Amino acid sequence: MNGFKTTMLLAALTALFMALGFTLGGSGGAILALIVAAGMNLFTFWNADRIVLSMHRAQEVGDADAPELVGLVRDLAARANLPMPRVYIVDDPSPNAFATGRDPAHAAVAATTGLLSMLTRDELAGVMAHELGHVRNRDTLIMTMVATIAGAVSMLANFGLFFRHGGGRGPGWAGLLAVLVAPFAAMIVQMAISRTREYAADRAGAEISGQPHALARALAKLQRGAEAIPGATATRVPAAQQLYIVPGRSADSLFATHPDTGNRIAALHAIAQEMGMIAPPTGRRAASVPVTRRRASALDPFA
C-alpha cells in the first residue's frame, strides 16, 4: 500500500509538471514537460547517488579515514542483513545525515561533520540505523526522484514568470496563477511522500540499532542544531530537505516534508516500550566519532 501510494503521488507530481508545461507552452509544452520528466526519472534512477553526493560535495571515507564510523555502519548493515554501503562525510557544521542510491546494492550513507561532533556513539548508531532503514525500505531512490522533479517544477515556475506561450513577457493571468500555485502543490506532494517514510525509517532504525531511546535523543539534538545552523546545500536547494533525517526548519507546517520531531520522539519511546524498554536511560557521555588526520582540514571537526 505504501508503494502504491508513493507511485500515485509521484505520478501526480509528474502530471503537475506537465500541467505547468501546458500552461506555459500549450500542448507542445506539455509533451516537452513529459519527455523532460521521463528523462529526469531515468537519469535519476541510474545516477541518484552521484547527484546527491555531488550536490553535497561529500567525500567518501574508509577504515583508514574514519574507522569508528565505517566500522559502526558495517556492524549495523550486517544486523540489517544489507550489503555494506559506501560511507561519506559532508563538511558542513549543520548536523544532519542522509542515505541515497537506487537500491541496497548501490547505496551510500552520509553524515555531516556537525553531526559527528554532536552525537554520542549510541546516538550515532541510531541515526545510521535510521538511514539504513531508508535503504532497506528502498526509500532512497524515490526520495531523490521526488526532490529532483519538485526542484524542476520550481525552476519551470520561475522561468514562467518571465515568458509565456505565443511570445511576449510574463505568463498572463492564468499562467501567473499556475506559476504561483505549482511550487506549493509540488511541496504538498513531497510532504505526503516523505512523512510516512520517516516514521517507517525511525522504526527500522530502532529495530536495527536496538536503541530507540538513543535515536530519540539524537533527533532532539539534531533538530535544534539544524535549526540553529542551516545546511549549506538545503539553503541552495530547498527540495533537498526531504533527504535529511531532520529538516532545517520546524516541521508539521503545511509544507513540511517531515513529521514533527516531537511526535517522532514520542513514537520512538512507544517503540521502546514495545521492545521492553520502559524508561529512557540516562546513558553515559561517549566521545564523538573521530575522523583521522589524513583529511583533517576538510573533515575533522576536532582538527
Looking at the annotation, which residues are catalytic? 131
Q: Does residue 198 have a known ligand-binding role? A: yes
| CA max distance for the chain | 67
* Alpha-helical runs (H) found in 161-211: 172-209
CA distance 254 to 227: 18
The H or E element containing residue 34 is helix 2-55
CA distance 120 to 132: 18
Q: Does residue 258 have a known ligand-binding role? A: no
Amino acid identity, position 62 = G
Q: Are 61 and 74 in contact (CB under 8 A)?
A: no
Q: Are 58 and 266 in contact (CB under 8 A)?
A: no
Q: Are 184 and 238 in contact (CB under 8 A)?
A: no
Q: Which residues contact 240 (CB under 8 A, 6 or more apart)?
A: 52, 55, 147, 233, 234
Report how far apart, in Å, the C-alpha atoms of 84 and of each of 136, 247, 303 are. Answer: 12, 26, 28
CA distance 301 to 243: 23
Q: Does residue 68 have a known ligand-binding role? A: no
Q: State how beta strands 59-61 and 86-90 pair.
A: antiparallel
Amino acid identity, position 1 = M
- Binding-site residue numbers for Zn(2+) are 130, 134, 198
